Amino acid sequence: MKRIVCLISGRGSNLAAILRTAESERWATEIPAAVVAVISNRADAAGLAVAAAHGVPAAVLEHQSFASREQFDARLAEAIEAHRADLVVLAGFMRVLGGAFVNRFCGRLVNVHPSLLPAFPGLATHRRALAAGVRVHGATVHFVSGDVDGGAIIAQAALGVLPEDNEETLAARVLQREHVLLPRCVRWLCEGRVALQNGRVVTRDLAADHLALLG
């Protein structure tokens, strides 16, 4: 059984997408894999209720309760290791993790970002995409590295920017793509079809799946 720990900070829509996909595709019997824990850095995160609704144990580690980023990262790492995680998924986790943490989970730590990296790393991606006048936007799932949103890319989902798009409508459409892209990448990782080797993504038997995500 591949054991997945999801980290969240807010509404948990990507967490919900992973859990729905796991249930509908019967990951426990087909891969097998399961989300064994959810950890939030905010006690008011709506995603905690998502975890509870799916019967997944959840915990809160508020970063404000720690004197330093390093202390928070160390306690978070301990909590993850307690669940014997094979994969750690940042599913809307709004904290930058330090180098020691990233190195500890190298190759099993992934993030979803709302842009077609390397374009628009960081925050306010949709506003910046509209201001830049891009015609194609989307989402990226990548391994986490020491550079913010700079890790090796696993897969991307693209969409056209509409003339009538504003920041809110574009964000909503990109989020729909995230809800397909992230669970699919998590499944690939659990199946061993994607891995990180020497800083590069290596894959097997993914051509058709990748093309489907770009439609």
pLDDT surpassing 80 at residue 196: yes
Task: Copy the structure tokens of residue 205.
Answer: 């038997």
Name the residue among 82, 85, 130, 89 with its Cα closest to residue 109: 89
How many degrees, rounded to 5, is the angle at CA 59 between CA 55 and CA 64?
A: 155
| Single-letter residue type at 155 | A
Per residue in 165-188, pLDDT (tens digit) is 999 999 999 999 999 999 999 999
Per residue in 74-91, pLDDT (tens digit) is 999 999 999 999 999 999
Which sign, positive or negative, has the C-alpha torsion 160, 163, 169, 170?
A: positive
- Asked whether 85 and 5 are in contact (CB, 8 A), the reply is yes
The pairs formed by 66-74 with CB atoms below 8 angstroms and a separation of 24 or more are 69/96, 69/98, 70/98, 70/100, 72/41, 73/97, 73/98, 73/100, 73/101, 74/100, 74/101
Region 15-34: what's the mean pLDDT?
Answer: 94
Per residue in 148-160, pLDDT (tens digit) is 999 999 999 999 9
Task: Copy the structure tokens of residue 116.
Answer: 């077609």
Q: Which domains does the chain have, with CATH numbers?
A: 2-213 (3.40.50.170)
pLDDT surpassing 50 at residue 215: no
pLDDT confidence tier of residue 207, bands split at 50, 70 and 90? low
Residue of 54, 113, 137, 179 marked catalytic: 113
pLDDT confidence tier of residue 206, bands split at 50, 70 and 90? confident
Per residue in 109-133, pLDDT (tens digit) is 999 999 999 999 999 999 999 999 9
Q: Say whether 210 is catalytic.
A: no
**Confidence at residue 208, expressed as pLDDT on a 0 to 100 scale:** 56
pLDDT surpassing 50 at residue 211: no
**Overall pTM surpassing 0.85 (yes/no):** yes
Region 89-99: what's the mean pLDDT?
Answer: 96
- Asked whether 74 and 102 are in contact (CB, 8 A), the reply is no
Per residue in 29-69, pLDDT (tens digit) is 999 999 999 999 999 999 999 999 999 999 999 999 999 99
- Asked whether 136 and 158 are in contact (CB, 8 A), the reply is yes
**Confidence at residue 209, expressed as pLDDT on a 0 to 100 scale:** 55
